Amino acid sequence: MMTPPEEDPNEPYPGVRGAIALTFMALMASFFTTVALFGVGALAAYGVGRAIGVGAVASMAAQRIGEPQAERLGLQRLDLQAIPLILCLIPAVLLASELDNFAYDWAGDEPGMAAPFQSERESTLGEAATSEERDRAEADGYDPLVPDVPFDPVESEATPAEVQAVPQLLDLNDPATRFQAFIVMVGIIPLVDCFLFFGVIQQGLIRRRGLLRGVVITGLFWMLLRDVPIVGVTRFFVGSAALLGMGTLLGLVRVATGSILGPMLLASAWAAIEFLALATHEQIPLPGLNVEGTHLPWLVSTASAVIVAWSARTVYQEAERRSQDPEGGPPQGPSAPNVHALRPRDPD
């Protein structure tokens, strides 16, 4: 069993090196657990593997957090007054989708990131073709760069019952698969990932690096476990920047609310919107979300930008005020009532 890396006991845990190690351990643990459970179904194995892998690493690392452990991990109730402000950050996922739409417009015909490797492979295969393969190509039209097609159900005499369709990994038209995907995307991944990154890792990085740098670095590690478009270099970097911004917002929400439930709620809401767009792309086309090459209505984009900008500024101000307390306790700032000023003065 992997154990959290050793660091200077006199420094808050974890630091940057510890965060890198914990992220790598979570990736490896999730991967091997998913492979071990693949027999129960790809989707179920992925969800359970993510929960066990990330959850186990987070639980082991949490044991090294000093007192007050519960407050530093954010294991506190979420103030109901903070929920409306958190909900105002939900349109950030729409802005991230719109950024990808603009990247598609600018570099939509850009070759995929694997294109250079494919071209090099084809060139290598062409040079490696032997004289026998060239003779075969002249005799029966065989191309050494194109693999033989072993079976064509259209031209064969096989009956339809003998033709086996290739099973799809994720068929969202199936109600059972749709329910499993919802549980995995909305109910499992946001919870375990937020606990590891914004509960365990972020508190150590903030105490070492300060509020802003600690939150941004944590958002960077959170981004590494997300699915980034790799269809082109431009969309890859734009998508990565959007995810980094979303991870930073989650970290600020964690500090501003003092509870790990804040980023969990926000991350689950983002995942629910992404799942809705994915599950209804055939039945309900949503321009800018699940229809490639389209954009959100300008009114939706403008309103989302204004709401997210206002709420992000408010969250940052509250996070900055709360971070002044080194133990992560209740805020101590200008808004706190001055109890001494309320006492009546002695007439003498």
Q: What is the pLDDT of residues 267-320, one digit of tens each?
A: 999 999 999 998 888 888 889 988 888 999 999 999 999 999 999 999 999 999
- What percent of the chain clears pLDDT 90, i.e. is strictly above it? 55
**Is-contact 260 74, C-beta < 8 A?**
yes
The region of weakest confidence among 212-226, 239-253, 257-271, 331-345 is: 331-345
How many angstroms separate the CA atoms of 334 and 348, rounded? 30
Q: Which among 121-130, 141-150, 262-271, 322-331 has the top mean pLDDT?
A: 262-271
Instruction: Give bridge partners of residue 291 from the DSSP assignment.
Output: 287
How many angstroms separate the CA atoms of 311 and 269, rounded? 16
**Is-contact 22 4, C-beta < 8 A?**
yes
**Is-contact 235 100, C-beta < 8 A?**
yes
**Is-contact 249 91, C-beta < 8 A?**
no
CA atoms within 13 A on the CB side of 50: 20
- Judged by DSSP in three states, 28 sits in helix
Residue (of 226, 230, 241, 237) closest to 114 by Cα position: 230
- Judged by DSSP in three states, 48 sits in helix
DSSP class of residue 81 equals: G
For 114, other C-beta atoms within 10 Å of its C-beta total: 11
Query: Tell me, what's the pLDDT at 43?
Result: 85
Question: Does the pLDDT value for residue 130 go beyond 80?
Answer: no
Structure tokens at 330: 């209740």
